[in-house]
């Protein structure tokens, strides 16, 4: 039986992108190929906020007790090896049962499953078929993979997704949060139109850029041009930076105005005003 290293599993409202407002189960798996330490930092500087937390990690017994950060990756504990002991390895049968147990009626009705991370399309692709084939997952109709758009789908996983999506009224979405230079990641590593085009074969794929400044908007325009040149047809969203309310409220309106100017979609981060972006929301 396959296993997953699970950072978080919770039921909430999807706060971002296409399914904003939809009750959703979030399965956050461990591991990422990026660090995104540039978020919220002056250009060229990298956040060291998580180093301070790592120094006192022995004080935390549970992922939910960890402090929130205002710079760098706001889900740092889902990939930083210094926090890996807080993410247990669990067999897919147990994960499937735990997922359904979070639902209000203990069965799928109109809820949606979000598989997120970290980067959920790293090696875990091999475990998802076992998870999704568990009998308690039969009523699930909609899945979103929240990805940074840098991971190719394996041939085995592609065949599985085709089969899964063919069953009636099932829908797969790839929410591609491609990382601009403000993340601190290198352009050539983060902007991968050759890979993202592949996601459109299975359903809906869209781009979602975290922006704060006019420079970020210019970078997003350049990235969109590259994706379009490669044949990508999906929607484009821009979303304000800000894992904490004080940062988010500084730039959400400006980002909405940027979206209107460009004719792109605005994505909120509803989990910030609704739930203060606490772990488990
Ligand atoms: S890609 Fe996402 S999970 Fe990975 S470091 Fe960047 S923001 Fe964090």
Please write down the HEC assignment for all residues of 128-184: HHHHHHCHHHCCCCEEEEEECCCCCCCHHHHHHHHHHHHCCCCEEEEEECCCCHHHC
Cβ within 8 Å of residue 223, ≥6 positions away: 178, 180, 191, 207, 209
Q: Give tens-digit pLDDT for 189-209.
A: 999 999 999 999 988 999 999
Share of the chain above pLDDT 90, in %: 76
**Residue ID of nearest Cα to ligand 1 atom 8:** 73
Q: Give tens-digit pLDDT for 213-225.
A: 889 999 999 999 9
Longest dimension (CA), the chain: 50
Give the mean model confidence (pLDDT) for residues 56-71.
Answer: 88
* For residue 122, pLDDT beyond 90: yes
Query: For all residues of the chain together, what is the average pLDDT?
Result: 92
**Residue ID of nearest Cα to ligand 1 atom 3:** 118
Which of 31, 36, 185 maximizes ligand 1 atoms within 8 Å of its Cβ, making it the mutation to test the pocket?
36
Which ligand 1 atom is at minimum distance from the Cα of 35? 5
Which ligand 1 atom is at minimum distance from the Cα of 185? 6
Give the mean model confidence (pLDDT) for residues 166-177.
Answer: 92
**pLDDT value for 250:** 62
CB of 28 within 6 A of ligand 1: the answer is no
CB of 15 within 6 A of ligand 1: the answer is no
Share of the chain above pLDDT 70, in %: 95
**pLDDT value for 213:** 84
Give the mean model confidence (pLDDT) for residues 116-142.
Answer: 97
DSSP 8-class letter at 277? T
**Residue ID of nearest Cα to ligand 1 atom 5:** 35
In the chain, % helix, strand, coil (3-state, to 5) comes to: 40, 20, 40
Q: Indicate the pTM of the whole model.
A: 0.94
Give the mean model confidence (pLDDT) for residues 89-100.
Answer: 98
Give the mean model confidence (pLDDT) for residues 141-170.
Answer: 94
Confidence grade of residue 254 (pLDDT, cut at 50, 70, 90): confident
Distance 136 CA to ligand 1 centre (A): 30
CB of 258 within 6 A of ligand 1: the answer is no
Tokens of 253: 């309106």
For helices 214-229 and 245-262, angle between their N-to-C axes, nearest 10 degrees:
50
Which ligand 1 atom is at minimum distance from the Cα of 183? 6
**pLDDT value for 242:** 67
**Residue ID of nearest Cα to ligand 1 atom 6:** 36
Tokens of 272: 């910030």
* For residue 71, pLDDT beyond 70: yes
**pLDDT value for 124:** 96
Asked if residues 113 and 142 have their Cβ atoms less than 8 Å apart, the reply is: yes
């Amino acid at each position: 039986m396959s296993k997953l290293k699970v950072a978080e599993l919770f039921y909430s409202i999807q706060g971002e992108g296409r399914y904003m407002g939809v009750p959703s189960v979030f399965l956050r798996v461990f591991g990422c190929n990026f660090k995104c330490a540039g978020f919220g930092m002056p250009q060229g500087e990298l956040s060291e906020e998580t180093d301070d937390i790592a120094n006192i990690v022995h004080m935390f017994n549970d992922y939910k007790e960890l402090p929130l950060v205002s710079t760098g990756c706001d889900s740092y504990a889902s990939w930083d090896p210094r926090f890996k002991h807080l993410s247990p390895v669990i067999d897919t049968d147990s994960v499937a049962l735990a997922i359904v147990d979070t639902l209000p009626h203990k069965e799928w009705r109109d809820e949606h499953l979000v598989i997120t991370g970290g980067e959920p399309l790293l090696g875990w692709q091999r475990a998802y078929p076992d998870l999704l084939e568990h009998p308690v997952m039969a009523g699930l109709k909609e899945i979103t993979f929240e990805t940074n758009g840098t991971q190719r789908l394996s041939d085995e996983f592609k065949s599985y997704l085709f089969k899964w999506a063919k069953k009636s009224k099932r829908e797969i979405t790839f929410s591609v949060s491609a990382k601009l230079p403000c993340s601190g990641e290198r352009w050539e590593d983060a902007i991968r139109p050759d890979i993202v085009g592949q996601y459109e074969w299975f359903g809906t794929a869209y781009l979602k850029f975290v922006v704060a400044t006019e420079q970020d908007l210019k970078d997003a325009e350049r990235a969109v041009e590259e994706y379009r040149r490669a044949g990508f047809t999906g929607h484009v969203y821009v979303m304000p930076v800000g894992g904490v309310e004080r940062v988010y409220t500084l730039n959400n309106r400006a980002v909405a105005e940027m979206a209107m100017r460009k004719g792109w979609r605005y994505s909120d981060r509803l989990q910030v005003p609704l739930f203060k972006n606490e772990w488990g929301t």
